[in-house]
Amino acid sequence: MTDKDRIYELAEKIEQGLTSEQKQELIDLLKPYKDGSIGIAQINPIAGDIEYNSKKVVRFINYAQELNLDLVVFPELILMGYPIEDTIDRHPIIVEENVKWLKQIAKITKNTTALVGFVEPRKYDHLTGKKYYNSVAVLSNGKIQGIIRKSLLPTYSEFNDYRYIEPSPVVGSQSGETLGNFAEDNIGNCPKTNIISGKKYGISICEDCWNNKEFFNDTTLYSLDPIEELSKENPDVFINCSASPTRAKKEQLKHNMLSFIAKKYSTPIVYVNQVGAIDNSSFDGSSRVFDKNGELLARAESFKEQFMIVNPHKGLGKIYPLTKGLEKTLTESKVYTLEYEPDLERTYKTIIQGIRDYFKKTGFKRAVLGLSGGLDSTVCAVLLADALGKENVFGISMPSKITSKESKSDAEKLAQNLGINFTEAPIKEMYDTTNNCLQKLFGEIEKKWDGRYKQSFTSDNIQARSRAIFLWGISNEFGNCLPIATSDKSELYMGYATINGDMSGGFAPIADVPKTKLFALARWLNKNRPIKDAIPESVILKKPGAELAIDPKTGKPLIAEDALMPYEFLDEVIWRIENKKEHYFDMINSEFLYEKNNSVSKEQKAQWLDKFYRRMSTALYKWSILPPSVIVDSRSINKYDYRQPITSSHINYKGLSEAEIADIILKI
């Protein structure tokens, strides 16, 4: 084993605790790598829990100091956790708290410098702009030596920095005395870069490094490029403190962009990312270092806290693997495909972390879900077992008279394979009682109101809602237990989910996974989990259907694809809208993957698309009350990622020609 490998091995164990011999060994091994050495503190904060986050920061500073590193770097806003959203505005006490903690943390620093992100209040009298900066403090020798403030504030996707944060008018570092009173009238002439243990660092915060005009082909969100500004002082290293959640295809972009910057400026870049999930956003960590040639020198683990030691000047740094398959996506183009394989491990880990952190951070431990024998609840059960431990999951089979024998036995088999708790609770009695009561009630209402449907979903929904009453009842009766909403993305797009039924729960693990990907994920789980083939093959082979109604044509439970459209087609529509912002005629006029393999008439295609738009517009309300879920895809319908007024359901998705418009105007 080389010295370097031994360094990596020992560093990995630092959080579990090293013996004093091991610690001394590590200190000795690190001596040749001292100049320019950096500890990457990839940690998982809890939003707003300043004490919890600060204690972690202190522990990691202590490690770095003991090992005599030059520098230890934390993710963006680490004292607060990212994102904190409007909390800081309504409860300004937590901002005061994070400043108090920062000042006390500064006092314990010695010759190892720490870069610690925090929310910085701006002076309150006669203030122009927002009340806060998103800042990083440079701490050493008991003092706050400098402060870097974020200039570029993202407002897309789930980001909303600009809502409460003022963009810094200057790039780079200002003196520590400017804490809380920085304004344009006290911008110092100090250098933008920081000298730390003899090396020059150009420090930036997250979005500040995402605006290279050349890389983004002259199409950028901001006019300022902070990295370009920092480069003018020829720093030895760029540092970027980040909180960047994982999304499909983002790895490719991030890798190429960071590599490009390092190479362009012939300057290594150290990118330190938050790990862990905060509500709907799952941060993957995977902090990394590119050398001055743009080559990857080090990459931390994904979805895991880690203290990692690197030295970009001396080639010190281990490349931990990305989630399996993801490397393949680095050069992939933007085309719809059913080849989900390269993204499945990332998908799995993103959701696992999302579930685990949501439960942990809200104080829940156990989950209860309905096991229908269908794909959605099956995959959810596997994910929950892996995230929370099989003993903490209770699967309830809740058959109705429509539920097939196969479904019941599939559910039971799955539970056995997973080792989760299982019981059966038929809903027949509840359904009958509810239905009787409702039929009587409907009779009364009909005396006053017209418009009773000949065919309705009432019966279907009673079943779904009875099941939810069982699950929420268990959550009420047993401590620390959350019911799970099992809706998938394809069905949510179609509003094919019952309010207060399957779409209700404390958490929705697969709300951002389309059905075709869910099939692929099921197969992947069967192949890649320690216990193979936990999911019965029959679950994967059968056509999805909610088993809430009988198809009058077949006399068998209704198949979802018959009620909606083929999932392969549906999922490509979703993909095109989310990723390419295509509209109706874009889709009419181009060939779908599904059309390559199946014969689809023009009329049929138009009918499916019409159905899609009609159903999507009435699904907007359901999206607005969807429980917290993990954002996985490159785009989602999660309400913190996508917002559309529910009352905008009249959008004309086909548009009109100018001649048609002129004609309408003339007739007014």
Instruction: Kindly identify the residues of this chain, within the stretch 96-115, that bind its own copies according to CB under 8 A.
Output: 96-97, 100-101, 103-105, 107-108
Nearest approach, Cβ of residue 526 and its own copies (Å) = 25
Cα-Cα-Cα-Cα dihedral sign, residues 498, 504, 510, 513: positive
Give the DSSP H or E segment for 667.
none
Report 423-442 residues binding its own copies (CB under 8 A): 423, 425, 427, 429-430, 433-434, 436-438, 440-442
- Indicate the burial class of 409 (C-beta count within 10 angstroms; 0-12, 13-18, 19 or more): middle
Which phi and psi angles does 641 have, rounded to 5°?
-115, -35
Report 328-357 residues binding its own copies (CB under 8 A): 357
Q: For residues 206 and 243, give the distance between their C-alpha atoms in angstroms, rounded to a whole number.
A: 7
Instruction: Please identify which of the residues 85, 97, 131, 206 carries the catalytic annotation.
Output: 206
- Report the residue from 219, 589, 597, 601 that binds its own copies according to the rule CB under 8 A: 219
Residue 91 is a binding residue for its own copies (CB under 8 A): yes
Residue 211 and residue 222 in contact, taking contact as beta carbons nearer than 8 Å: yes
Per-position x/- string for 536-575, each x denoting binding to its own copies as judged by CB under 8 A, each - no binding: ----------------------------------------
The identity of residue 563, as a single letter, is A
Residue 69 and residue 316 in contact, taking contact as beta carbons nearer than 8 Å: no
**437 noted as active-site residue:** no
Residue 499 is a binding residue for its own copies (CB under 8 A): yes
Per-position x/- string for 160-199, each x denoting binding to its own copies as judged by CB under 8 A, each - no binding: x-xx------------------------------------
Q: In this complex, which beta carbon is closest to its own copies, that of residue 404 or of residue 644?
A: 644
Cα-Cα-Cα-Cα dihedral sign, residues 598, 545, 356, 18: negative
Q: In this complex, which beta carbon is closest to its own copies, that of residue 3 or of residue 51?
A: 51
Structure tokens, 662: 């002129």
- Report the residue from 17, 333, 339, 448 that binds its own copies according to the rule CB under 8 A: 448
Nearest approach, Cβ of residue 382 and its own copies (Å) = 19
Q: In this complex, which beta carbon is closest to its own copies, that of residue 132 or of residue 271?
A: 132
Residue 445 is a binding residue for its own copies (CB under 8 A): yes
- Within 10 angstroms of residue 191's Cβ, the number of other Cβ atoms is 15
Q: For residues 140 and 106, give the distance between their C-alpha atoms in angstroms, rounded to a whole number.
A: 7
Q: In this complex, which beta carbon is closest to its own copies, that of residue 198 or of residue 451?
A: 451
Report 379-408 residues binding its own copies (CB under 8 A): 394, 396
Of 563, 575, 581, 583, residue with least CA distance to 517: 575
| 597 contacts: CB under 8 Å, gap ≥ 6 | none
Give the DSSP H or E segment for 105.
helix 93-108
Nearest approach, Cβ of residue 653 and its own copies (Å) = 7
Q: For residues 10 and 71, give the distance between their C-alpha atoms in angstroms, rounded to a whole number.
A: 18
Cα-Cα-Cα-Cα dihedral sign, residues 350, 355, 356, 360: positive
Residue 559 and residue 543 in contact, taking contact as beta carbons nearer than 8 Å: yes
Nearest approach, Cβ of residue 61 and its own copies (Å) = 9
Nearest approach, Cβ of residue 237 and its own copies (Å) = 28
- Report the residue from 17, 198, 479, 555 that binds its own copies according to the rule CB under 8 A: 479
Per-position x/- string for 298-327, each x denoting binding to its own copies as judged by CB under 8 A, each - no binding: ------------------------------
Q: For residues 72 and 37, give the distance between their C-alpha atoms in angstroms, rounded to a whole number.
A: 9
Nearest approach, Cβ of residue 86 and its own copies (Å) = 5
Nearest approach, Cβ of residue 37 and its own copies (Å) = 22
Q: In this complex, which beta carbon is closest to its own copies, that of residue 7 or of residue 57?
A: 57
**206 noted as active-site residue:** yes
Report 9-68 residues binding its own copies (CB under 8 A): 46-52, 54-55, 58-59, 62
What three-state secondary structure class fits 11?
helix
**150 noted as active-site residue:** yes
Per-position x/- string for 581-620, each x denoting binding to its own copies as judged by CB under 8 A, each - no binding: x-xx------------------------------------
Q: Facing residues of 283 across strands?
A: 245, 276
b (16+ CB within 10 A) / e for 227-261: bbbbbeeebbbbbbbbbbbbbbbbbbebbebbbbb
Residue 208 is a binding residue for its own copies (CB under 8 A): no
Report 500-529 residues binding its own copies (CB under 8 A): 500, 504, 506
Residue 212 is a binding residue for its own copies (CB under 8 A): no
Q: In this complex, which beta carbon is closest to its own copies, that of residue 32 or of residue 443?
A: 443
Give the DSSP H or E segment for 45.
none
Q: For residues 362 and 47, give the distance between their C-alpha atoms in angstroms, rounded to a whole number.
A: 11
Instruction: Please identify which of the residues 97, 120, 131, 150 carries the catalytic annotation.
Output: 150
Structure tokens, 650: 């009249």
Instruction: List active site positions.
Output: 76, 150, 206
